[in-house]
Structure 1
């Protein structure tokens, strides 16, 4: 599956991913000690919702536009992050994870971004020029292992690939295993699309075999019955999520499910420990 960020900016997966990222980092920031935030597949950093690629799919209408039309206060932090890159009420731009994470930085925190595609990394540097982020142009999995453990005692690694390569899941699994050996208490967030249940179930089995003690699986299925051959939703694997985050998660997930459910579908969003 090829999931290029620019075609899907602001869709339902972005709403869930960025809402949870904000909640996760905010939970970690309840402690004053510094955080290092690392994004291995940073993309362009900022996306034009009126651009050809986003307009070709029109997915933002079922994602960020729905979140802005819903008054649920649990989505306020997410809406604020999107509004911060726009002027006026109309949404023209969508912040990628680098922009969302940059907005969360405290003076003691650090942001490390990586993007391998030359055109995208050029756009990323432009999008992040007014931030303190360090931008790299390296292989994502090499950088992931090189950067952990970070110089700060605590940190978060965000892994959000386009799933262009057939071995993407295998590389994530192998790198996660190696990273956990180096940094057992580190927090890692892995985004993935949900398309075919057998493929996803097989990958989940491989991850379960790693024996990671605290591995949370959050899955957002858009439709009540799987739609063959199309995008059915997205999920996040979260290693070592903080207690404050998991305790506050159920009402946020329900708010996201209700906001993003397509017409005629209730949808489902769940959070389960992978060992359960």
Structure 2
């Protein structure tokens, strides 16, 4: 499955992912000690919703456009972060995770971005100009392990690959296992598309087998019944999420489900711990 960021910028998966990242980082920032934020698959940093690739899919209409049309104040922080990169009130540009994370930085925090694709890495450097972000152009999984444990007392690793490779899930599982041995208390957020339940259930079983005590699975299924062979939604695994984050989830998840439900569907968005 190809999930190159530029084709899907601002879709429903982005709305959920970026809304939850805001809450996650702010929950961690309730403590004053410095954070290192690492984005292993950073993409271009910012996307033109009027560009050829975004228009080819038109997915922003079912994502950021729905979030902007919704009046729920629980989505205000997300909308404000999108507006911050736009001149007009309605979004023409969409910030990728690097720009969302950069907006959340405190003076003591560190932002490290990685993008292996040369053209995207060049675009990322341009998009992050004027921010304190460090940009790398390395293999994502090598960098993930190389930077652990973080130099600051605490940190977050965001893993958001395009799932172009058939072994992507296996590489994530193996790297997470190694990362946990080096950085057992670290917080990790892993994004994934939902295409069929059988593949996803096998992956969850593999992750349970790692024996990591705290992995929270958040799943957003768009449709009321599976549509085999197509994109059905997306989710995130959160390793060692802070208590303040998990407590904030129920009303936010319901607000996201309501705002993003396709016509004729209620949709579901759930959060559950993976029992080891």
- TM-score range normalised by the length of the shorter chain: over 0.9
Q: Within 2, Cα distance between the matches of 1:81 and 1:262?
A: 24
Asked whether the 8 Å contact 2:40–2:159 carries over to 1, the reply is yes
CA RMSD, Structure 1 to Structure 2 (Å): 0.6
TM-score normalised according to structure 1 size: 0.99
Q: Within 2, Cα distance between the matches of 1:78 and 1:91?
A: 12
1:252 aligns with 2:231: no
User: Corresponding residue for 2:28?
Assistant: 28
Q: Within 2, Cα distance between the matches of 1:190 and 1:26?
A: 18
User: Corresponding residue for 2:5?
Assistant: 5
CA deviation digits over 1:119-141, x for unaligned, max 9?
A: 00000000001100000000000
For structure 1, which runs of at least 5 residues remain unmatched after alignment? none
Question: Cα distance, 1:228 vs. partner?
Answer: 1.6
User: Corresponding residue for 2:75?
Assistant: 75
User: Corresponding residue for 2:61?
Assistant: 61
Aligned residues: 276
User: Corresponding residue for 1:238?
Assistant: 238
User: Corresponding residue for 1:272?
Assistant: 272
User: Corresponding residue for 2:182?
Assistant: 182
User: Corresponding residue for 1:205?
Assistant: 205
Does the residue aligned with 1:272 lie in a helix, a strand or coil?
strand
Does the residue aligned with 2:67 lie in a helix, a strand or coil?
helix
Asked whether the 8 Å contact 2:17–2:191 carries over to 1, the reply is yes
Q: Within 2, Cα distance between the matches of 1:91 and 1:32?
A: 33
TM-score normalised according to structure 2 size: 0.99
User: Corresponding residue for 1:193?
Assistant: 193
Q: Within 2, Cα distance between the matches of 1:229 and 1:145?
A: 33
Q: Within 1, Cα distance between the matches of 2:13 and 2:103?
A: 20
Q: Within 1, Cα distance between the matches of 2:26 and 2:89?
A: 26
CA deviation digits over 1:216-275, x for unaligned, max 9?
A: 000000000011211000000000000000011000000000000001100000000011
Does the residue aligned with 2:189 lie in a helix, a strand or coil?
strand
Q: Within 2, Cα distance between the matches of 1:5 and 1:271?
A: 24
For structure 2, which runs of at least 5 residues remain unmatched after alignment? none
User: Corresponding residue for 2:170?
Assistant: 170
Question: Cα distance, 1:106 vs. partner?
Answer: 0.2
User: Corresponding residue for 2:223?
Assistant: 223
Q: How does 1:115-194 map to 2 (within 5 A)?
A: 115-194=115-194
Question: Cα distance, 1:104 vs. partner?
Answer: 0.1
Does the residue aligned with 1:230 lie in a helix, a strand or coil?
coil
User: Corresponding residue for 1:42?
Assistant: 42
Q: Within 1, Cα distance between the matches of 2:32 and 2:154?
A: 11
Moved over 4 A (4+): none
